[in-house]
Amino acid sequence: VSYILSRGFEVECEAPVRATRDFKFQALGRRAETRAVVLHWTGGRRGAAGVFETLRERGLSVHFVVEADGTVWQFADCDRRCSHAGPANGWSIGIEIVNPAGATLSAKDSADGRTVAECSIRGRRVRHASFTAAQTRSALALTRAVCAAWGLPFRARAGEGTATARELADFRGVLGHYEISDQKTDPGRGILDLVNEAGP
């Protein structure tokens, strides 16, 4: 059994979770409200160290990253305010999934056991690598653990496009980044459908 850190307490999670002082976003304040878990993909194939470095350089941050082999890295306590989803930063917990997409897609990805997948977002076809089986399991287990820790429904909106401000104002559960920003397509729709198929 592994644990995530939430409000200073260890909470059980059925995915391998690691943390190190080297990959820790420091001095982030507490978030006032928690209504959602926001899932992302990184768009590249760099692991936790690379993701941490890239975010820090850009003045961004996130709570978790799920690597291709299913290892979960925690970069901040769940109660911190991380900068991963613009207007949702103040009420959500962020999970990055390491996954090539768009221009970074290549034949190399089949070596990870990935295939090219496609989904429709805002009426447009989006090509991305499929998540590996191990990281799909870990992403679902992690999302479930975070939802349980914060009393959120383990249920995704899994919409075709961006949610309205009104929808977001009432929302409780799991969102994809593309549902918050017109500029984004991550994390595709497949993982959100899997959340709903896995059920409460």
Residues of the shown chain interacting with Zn ion in the complex, contacts defined by CB under 5 A? 40, 177, 186
User: CB 3 → Zn ion: shortest distance, Å?
Assistant: 25
Q: Which is nearer to Zn ion, 63 or 177 (CB)?
A: 177
In angstroms, the Cα distances linking 15 to 3, 80, 108, 142, 195 are 8, 21, 26, 6, 15
| Count of beta carbons in the 10 Å neighbourhood of residue 33 | 9
Q: Which is nearer to Zn ion, 3 or 136 (CB)?
A: 136
| Cα angle 84, 74, 17; round to 5 | 140
| Cα angle 62, 189, 105; round to 5 | 75
User: CB 65 → Zn ion: shortest distance, Å?
Assistant: 12
User: CB 12 → Zn ion: shortest distance, Å?
Assistant: 27
User: CB 159 → Zn ion: shortest distance, Å?
Assistant: 16
Contact 55, 95 (CB under 8 A): no
Q: Which is nearer to Zn ion, 19 or 39 (CB)?
A: 39
User: CB 123 → Zn ion: shortest distance, Å?
Assistant: 20
In the block, tokens 């249920």 appear at: 155
d(CA 61, CA 31): 13
Q: Which is nearer to Zn ion, 97 or 152 (CB)?
A: 97
Q: Which is nearer to Zn ion, 86 or 153 (CB)?
A: 86
